[in-house]
Amino acid sequence: MSSLFYGIREKLAEIPVVDIHTHINPEKPHAGKPEDVILYHYIATELATAGVSRDILEKADMIEVLKRMWLIKNTSTYWCLLKIMNDLYGLSEEKLKSEEWSEVRRIIESTSKSQGWVERIMYGKVKTKKVFITLDYASPIPNYDSTLFVGGLRIDPLISRLSKENLDKLGKAVGIQITTLRDLDESLNKIFKVFSKHVKTVTVSLQPEDEFKPVNNEEAGDSLKRMVEGLPLREQQFRRLSSYVIYKVASLCQEHNIVFQIMLGVRRPVPGASPPDYAIVAFNPNALTNYCKVLFSRFKDVKFDLILANSIQSHEVAIVAKNYSNVYFSGFWWYSFYPYIMRRGLLERIQILPRNKVNAFFSDAYVVEWIYGKVCLLKEQLAYALADMVEHGYYDKAFSLEIAEDLLYKNPVTIYQL
């Protein structure tokens, strides 16, 4: 590694970040117990697929877990865990052993209970300016510190997983019994009116097979009637209704000036896959063309931010973002959060897209400690990518740092109007 790489990495450590997608509980944003850090679901999935029994993982038998940590020592997720252990708690890898568990537990618990722990991580270590939290459409809005947190409204159950049960949850949340399209419209209007004061984005994770049709109100109304009555829907009938909902949601995003995050590239659940994820990467070659036709081109005033788990589609998504001024490309989701994929993806995006079209980072973390581990990995790979561009004469060092600030901070601030 060159001195140029080290110099860029040192500068990146000081650039603030915006985390545009997490599952942080704003009322308790840090790990409640050491297991929340050491058995983060990425780690648990890797241990499970290495052969560690579900019984050990579900019981969080940490003595047995630590005995088997060597199985995943090669993974980049484990590298993130070591960064957390060392940089936040002062614990070396030598401490991640079963015979040291009592001492490790004591140190993590006492450190995380110290005054200002969350602030030291968020402002001191991560250098964050804003962290997005996930808000459920059918749940009360939690108390949160608006100087640090901002909301993202999650609506998967109303589109990709639309069902009578989820419609009933929507209706209960707003006090409307949904039996007609007018009821559905009114319910969605009310949800957006409440949440628009708290959110900067609406987020949906789409299954690979999710494609949308031009809206036909009569057909959508018939599909809704069948669903409400508990009757089975053929695939085409379901598509008519889910298409109606996503059009309505996109219209409401336009009305309330809210970004629409679309997460792509994962199929879940998958029978027999490793717990707790139960998911694999997958893609439908027709899906993005469909979204271009029915969403991106139709709703030109809505900003669509695409989030991808499947690296196979990375070039395709970048070219979509290159062709549509209202489409952006952000971060590395789930199964793409690995150094080789990240470095290649960053180079691809900064070479293809204008500098204002890319957000480099989101953590998808459940506790703030893992925001730190993941931002370390991302900044490491961004330093490699930028050093590569400088070494080959495309950028000078000063310009590479301008690009880094765009990708980590300025772009999400502008796109999400923070």
**Amino acid 264: pLDDT:** 98
Q: Characterize 6-43 residue by residue with b for buried, 16 or more Cβ atoms within 10 angstroms of its Cβ, and e for exposed.
A: eebbebbeebebbbbbbbbbbeebbbeebbbbbbbbbb
282-317 pLDDT per residue, tens: 999 999 999 999 999 999 999 999 999 999 999 999
Q: What percent of the chain has pLDDT over 70?
A: 100
CATH of domain 155-336: 3.20.20.140
Q: How confident is the model at residue 342, as a pLDDT?
A: 98
Q: What is the pLDDT of residues 210-252, one digit of tens each?
A: 999 999 999 999 999 999 999 999 999 999 999 999 999 999 9
- Phi-psi domain of 332 (left: phi exceeds 0; alpha: psi -120 through 50; beta: other): beta
Residue with tokens 């990518």: 385
How is residue 207 annotated by DSSP?
Answer: P
Mean pLDDT of the chain: 96
Q: What is the pLDDT of residue 242?
A: 96
- Express each pLDDT in 248-289 by its tens digit: 999 999 999 999 999 999 999 999 888 888 999 999 999 999
Residue 182 pLDDT grade (very low, low, confident, very high; cuts 50, 70, 90): very high
Structure tokens at 387: 């050093």
Q: Does the structure show a pLDDT above 70 at 1?
A: no
**Phi-psi category of residue 53: left, alpha or beta, with phi > 0 → left and psi -120 to 50 → alpha:** beta
Alpha-carbon span 342 to 339, nearest angstrom: 5
Nearby residues of 392 by Cβ (< 8 Å), 6 or more positions away: none
Note the pLDDT of residue 276. 85
Provide, rounded to the nearest whole percent, the portion of the chain with pLDDT above 90. Answer: 97
For 150-178, what is the mean pLDDT? 95
pLDDT of residue 274: 84
Contact status, residue 77 vs residue 57, Cβ threshold 8 Å: no
Q: What's the pLDDT score for residue 129?
A: 95
H or E element at residue 117: helix 117-119
pTM of the model: 0.96
pLDDT at position 7:
97
- 295 and 159 in contact (C-beta within 8 Å)? no
Residue type, 384: Y
- Choose the weakest-confidence range: 3-7, 274-278, 355-359: 274-278
- In the chain, CATH 3.20.20.140 covers 155-336
What are the structure tokens assigned to 394, written together? Answer: 């495309």
Contact 158, 170 (CB under 8 A): yes
- Give residue-wise pLDDT tens across range 138-163: 999 999 999 999 999 999 999 988 99
- Looking at residue 102, its pLDDT comes to 96
